[in-house]
Amino acid sequence: MARRLTDEIEAVALGPGATEAAPALGGHGARTVHASDDRQFEDHPGAPAAHVVARLLEEHRPNLVLFSTSYASRDVAGRLQALTGSTLMANASAVLGPDHARGEILGGTKIVEVELRGPDPKLVSVRPKAIAAEPSGGTATVAPVRVDLPDELRRLRVVERHQEEAAGPKLEGAKVVIAGGRGLQDPANFAMLDDLARAIGDAAVGASRAAVDAGWVPYSYQIGQTGKTVKPEVYIGVGISGALQHAVGMKQAKRIIAINKDPDAPIFGLADIGVVGDLFEVVPALTEEIRRRKGS
Partner 1 sequence: MNVIVLAKYVPNPQGVPELGPDHLLVRSGVEGALDPGDEYGLEAGLRIIEAQGGEVVVVSMGPEEAMAAIQRALAMGAHGGILITDDVLRGADALVTARVLAATIRRRPFDLVIASVESTDGYTGTVPMTVAELLGVPSATFARKLDVAEGLVRIERQTEGGYDVLESPLPALVTVTTAVAEPRYPTLKGIMQAKQKPVERLTASDLGLSRDQLASSQGVVDVHDAPPKDRGEALEAGPEAVARIADLLAEARVI
Site for partner 1 in 186-245 (CB under 8 A): 199-203, 210, 212-215, 218-220, 225-226, 233-234, 236, 243-245
**In this chain, which of 59, 61, 110, 167 binds partner 1, going by CB under 8 A?**
110
**In this chain, which of 7, 111, 185, 191 binds partner 1, going by CB under 8 A?**
111
Nearer to partner 1, 7 or 115 (CB): 115
Residues between 31 and 50 with contacts to partner 1, criterion CB under 8 A: 45-47, 50
Question: Angle at the Cα of 57 (from 54 to 61), degrees rounded to 5?
Answer: 155
How many binding residues for partner 1 (CB under 8 A)? 96
Identify the CA nearest to 112 among candidates 96, 125, 128: 96
**Residue 237: which region, alpha, beta or left (left: phi > 0; alpha: psi -120 to 50)?**
beta
Q: Rule CB under 8 A: is residue 282 a binding residue for partner 1? A: yes
Q: Rule CB under 8 A: is residue 295 a binding residue for partner 1? A: no
| CB 102, CB 90: distance < 8 Å | no
Question: Angle at the Cα of 21 (from 15 to 27), degrees rounded to 5?
Answer: 150
Residues between 12 and 31 with contacts to partner 1, criterion CB under 8 A: none
Stretch that binds partner 1, among 3-11, 17-25, 128-136, 287-295 (CB under 8 A): 287-295
**In this chain, which of 87, 143, 187, 195 binds partner 1, going by CB under 8 A?**
87
Burial grade of 50 (CB within 10 A; 0-12, 13-18, 19 or more): buried
- The CB density around residue 66, as the number of other CB atoms within 10 Å, is 21
Q: Rule CB under 8 A: is residue 273 a binding residue for partner 1? A: yes
